[in-house]
Amino acid sequence: MKDSSTRTTQGRGKRFDSILETVGDTPTIRINNLGVPGITLYVKAEFFNPASSVKDRLALNIIEAAERSGALRPGQTVVEATSGNTGIGLAMVCAQKGYPLVVTMADSFSIERRKLMRMFGAKVVLTPRADKALGMYNKAVELAEANGWFLARQFETEANADIHEATTAREIINDFAGARLDYVVTGYGTGGTVTGLARVLRRERPETRIILCEPANAQLLGSGQPQERSPAGTPALSHPAFAPHPIQGWTPDFIPLVLQEAIDTKGYDELIPVAGADGMEWTRLLARKEGIFTGISGGSTFAVARQVAERAEPGSVILCMLPDTGERYMTTPLFEAIEAEMDVDEIALSLSTPGYQMATA
């Protein structure tokens, strides 16, 4: 590791006209304490985006592509179905650009996500968890049609994979220019990341294997069963292989049309399932051993990256995508063992000196 005793900073050499100009250019960070001997493991920390997730990229591009095409009119309300991160990204973009935003979201997703969207000024309409992601999706369609609102369509729009092709993939190409890159590991929610990455990596880094992950108890792709769709490509029914899983942001109860491109074009080389409990354990280890605070989806992707590292050839280089921050999961099982009050060891530390003790100690 580099000596940081003489660390200095000089700024970015520019001033930004708005928060939206800070989307993208997220750092690639080496893993130092949780690696596998002989393997170099990196993570791409998407929580460095301004609203702390990879979905800031597609949120910005969906709105700006719609502005360019005229599909989104000045002052028109935007509506979208989301498990949280896309909604938070859209809320940031709409706040800056002056569009009202309505989000539909199943009530099973973490409470802090709805609070964050409301903090940005969005309205959040909850749908019953029993109706799964398809329920919140259909509610957004209903609201758009009833009110003449702009439906963002993150699961179908070309603007989704396009922004990952234009930014995320280019950042990876530049970060590893002239260097080895054997594997890229990512999960999927809409499928935009893997589809956009595949377009570029297949062409410019064909030696790089793309590993895709999904929940072990909701293996939509692993089942081999196709998604039933309407003529417009939207999901007609929930996928039969879906089951509720704890990896929020991953794998809705249908295969998104954006992901279908990567399936049809063989945009990934291997599909690896991961248990939610394993993902949460690696999320905690990343925080405690690397100081990297990602969410359950990031820990789950890292769990698969570790599996790949353990069987990779010596000298291999692996890049793992970390989609968001752990702060999105404060009210989920990820934090069940993290208490707000002092534990026994902390009480003992308090009592070890005479002053400033809490009454509970």
- In the block, tokens 């029993």 appear at 130
Please say if 55 is a catalytic residue: yes
Q: How far is CA 325 from the centre of its chain?
A: 9
Residues near 139 by beta carbon (within 8 Å), at least 6 away in sequence: 81, 104, 125, 127
Provide φ and ψ at 121, rounded to 5°.
100, 5
Q: Are 61 and 162 in contact (CB under 8 A)?
A: yes
Give the count of alpha carbons within 13 A of 183, CB side only.
Answer: 31
Please say if 297 is a catalytic residue: yes
Amino acid at 51: A
Tokens of 246: 């704890």
Write down the catalytic residue from 44, 55, 132, 139: 55
Q: Are 82 and 6 in contact (CB under 8 A)?
A: no
Cα–Cα distance list, 353 to 1, 181, 342, 344 (Å): 36, 52, 16, 15
The 10 Å Cβ neighbour count of residue 119 is 13
DSSP for 95-161, written as a single string: HHHT--EEEEEETTS-HHHHHHHHHTT-EEEEE-GGGHHHHHHHHHHHHHHHHTPEE--TTT-HHHH
Write down the catalytic residue from 52, 110, 238, 297: 297
Amino acid at 308: V
Buried (b) or exposed (e) across 209-247, using 16+ Cβ within 10 A? Answer: bbbbbbbbbbbbbeeeeebebeeeebbeebbebbeebbb
Cα(286)–Cα(297) distance, integer angstroms: 12
Burial of 104 per CB tally in 10 Å (0-12, 13-18, 19+): buried
Cα(301)–Cα(299) distance, integer angstroms: 5
Catalytic residues: 55, 297
